[in-house]
Homo-oligomer: A and B are copies of this chain.
Amino acid sequence: MPQFLATTDAGFEAAFAALLGMKREDSPEVDDIVAEIIADVRVRGDAALIELTAKFDRLDLTPQTLAFTPDEIEAECARVPAAERDALELAAERIRAYHVRQMPEDELWTDPDGATLGWRWTPVSAAGLYVPGGLASYPSSVLMNAVPAKVAGVGRLAVTVPTPDGVVNPLVLLAARIAGVDEVYRIGGAQAIAALAYGTETIAPVDKITGPGNAFVAAAKRRVFGKVGIDMIAGPSEILVIADRDNDPDFLALDLMSQAEHDESAQAILITDDAAFGQAVADAVAKRLETLERRAIAGASWRDFGAIITVRDMNEAAALADRIAPEHLEICTADPEALAGRINHAGAIFLGGFTPEAIGDYVGGPNHVLPTARSARFSSGLSVLDFLKRTTIAKMSPEALKAIGPAAEVLAKSESLEAHGLSVRARLDRLNEG
């Protein structure tokens, strides 16, 4: 059973704080192992990759078979049934259409002092996308990472995906091809992150690495951060559903379970202003948990981290939502836009009864890589901005330097940075001579 809380309970504040503070993830101590793997790949390159892949993935590779050939990719893609191919293509097109709108503008203007100022966006030259193997090898995640990179204009996009025992997920290769990925390598784990960050004889290094992975991958990404850019370190999935009684309890039960089924550490929370409705949703969840394929995972998540919170009114719901700062927020109320407008911290918002969160996982268009563990308070989901960087531009006219240079000189002196001040003063003196 999930927790049942109500804001009218005497102990609510303590119970809610405990819910927020729950440690849902125990990261195993893998940092030393990861440090060794990275060092090994840096020193021995391909040879280390091949040895580690034989050890962890039980797969014998050569420098020639590290990468999939175009023919191999073609053959795998041909195995994908038409319905799945069509669905991937629809998803890619919708994700592309959404992310194209995120492309920021360059700006350049001249201010009244005669200073020309602005900025310019340029893409990262090369990006690497990590794709997990096994159960969590999601073709949708390939699209969600690769499409924004290509929209941003990344020149070279390399995917690494482990193929334990040689087993390939053809949908992953098809998603990569649809998204315009340039290279796909049969490697995984910390060794793949090391290869992307530092390069080997066969794999050229990239500038930015994104994509989800297990504890080894996460630790490796933390370690190579600085040498390359990384995206966020994703935690277990979360969903918060805010709903009034005018909803089908079974629909909301399925929405809650759609995140719970990801991971035993996932968290699904319902906030409602009607305790009886909350109970009805709990009953619907219990019924669904009898038959769901992933009932063991979803049931554990719901039991350990699930919650149903009854509030006096939707103002309370908005305030609690901001404290939860959920990855996914579904709002199923009479005026969902109005309620959404009162909530500041959420990775993605799904409005109304016809927008199950799962739409956003696949075909809605917005990215499904979103901030977890309350980090929506300070961070955003993946976007084209993750594959772009901004260069600021400044050009002073002689008049501008005369107008603002003296203030720079004063401040440089106040900070005891003499050369800073002199670099301005020397030019001002020249202008004043002229």
Chain B neighbourhood of A426, CB < 8 A: 248, 250-251, 254
Closest chain B residue to A261 by CB distance? B419
The answer, yes or no, to whether A44 is at the interface (CB within 8 Å) is: no
The answer, yes or no, to whether A17 is at the interface (CB within 8 Å) is: no
Q: Are A366 and B389 in contact (CB under 8 A)?
A: no
Contact of A417 (CB < 8 Å), options: B117, B171, B261, B407: B261
Q: Are A86 and B407 in contact (CB under 8 A)?
A: yes
Q: A347-B392, A381-B390, A395-B352 in contact; A117/B366 too (CB < 8 A)?
A: yes
Interface pairs (9), CB distance under 8 Å: A91-B407, A94-B404, A139-B411, A254-B423, A261-B418, A349-B393, A361-B408, A380-B391, A381-B392
Interface mask (A252-275 → B, CB under 8 Å = 1, otherwise 0)? 001101101110000000000000
The answer, yes or no, to whether A10 is at the interface (CB within 8 Å) is: no
Q: Are A139 and B418 in contact (CB under 8 A)?
A: no
List A residues 320-342 near B (Cβ within 8 Å).
Answer: 336-337, 340
We find that the number of chain A residues with CB closer than 8 angstroms to chain B is 123
The answer, yes or no, to whether A55 is at the interface (CB within 8 Å) is: no
The answer, yes or no, to whether A385 is at the interface (CB within 8 Å) is: yes
Q: Are A117 and B98 in contact (CB under 8 A)?
A: yes
Alpha-carbon distance A400/B360, docked complex (angstroms): 13
Contact of A412 (CB < 8 Å), options: B257, B260, B358, B385: B358
Contact of A411 (CB < 8 Å), options: B87, B258, B400, B411: B87
- Closest Cβ of chain B to A289, distance in Å, is 10
- Closest Cβ of chain B to A294, distance in Å, is 6
Q: A87-B410, A407-B86 in contact; A394/B294 too (CB < 8 A)?
A: no
The answer, yes or no, to whether A164 is at the interface (CB within 8 Å) is: no
Chain B neighbourhood of A340, CB < 8 A: 393
Alpha-carbon distance A374/B390, docked complex (angstroms): 14
The answer, yes or no, to whether A226 is at the interface (CB within 8 Å) is: yes
Q: Are A293 and B418 in contact (CB under 8 A)?
A: yes
Q: Are A390 and B380 in contact (CB under 8 A)?
A: yes
Q: Are A411 and B350 in contact (CB under 8 A)?
A: no
Chain B neighbourhood of A350, CB < 8 A: 394-395
Alpha-carbon distance A422/B262, docked complex (angstroms): 14
The answer, yes or no, to whether A146 is at the interface (CB within 8 Å) is: no
Taking the full assembly, how many copies of this chain does it contain?
2
Alpha-carbon distance A352/B399, docked complex (angstroms): 13
Alpha-carbon distance A109/B140, docked complex (angstroms): 23
- Closest Cβ of chain B to A295, distance in Å, is 9
- Closest Cβ of chain B to A17, distance in Å, is 13
The answer, yes or no, to whether A314 is at the interface (CB within 8 Å) is: no
Q: Are A407 and B349 in contact (CB under 8 A)?
A: no
Q: Are A392 and B366 in contact (CB under 8 A)?
A: yes
Chain B neighbourhood of A359, CB < 8 A: 394, 396, 401, 404-405, 408, 424
Chain B neighbourhood of A88, CB < 8 A: 411
Alpha-carbon distance A394/B349, docked complex (angstroms): 6
Q: Are A351 and B393 in contact (CB under 8 A)?
A: yes
Alpha-carbon distance A97/B107, docked complex (angstroms): 13
Q: A124-B377, A381-B392, A396-B354 in contact; A404/B98 too (CB < 8 A)?
A: no
Contact of A416 (CB < 8 Å), options: B293, B355, B362, B418: B293
Q: Are A366 and B349 in contact (CB under 8 A)?
A: no
Contact of A226 (CB < 8 Å), options: B357, B375, B416: B375
Q: Are B294 and A418 in contact (CB under 8 A)?
A: yes
Query: Closest 6 A-B residue pairs measured CB to CB?
Result: A229-B378, A366-B392, A351-B395, A254-B423, A87-B407, A358-B420
Contact of A360 (CB < 8 Å), options: B171, B346, B367, B394: B394
- 19 further A-B contacts with Cβ under 8 Å, apart from A102-B119, A350-B395, A356-B424, are A87-B411, A117-B364, A124-B378, A125-B345, A138-B415, A139-B411, A139-B415, A226-B233, A288-B422, A292-B419, A294-B418, A340-B393, A354-B400, A354-B427, A361-B408, A362-B420, A363-B408, A363-B411, A383-B390
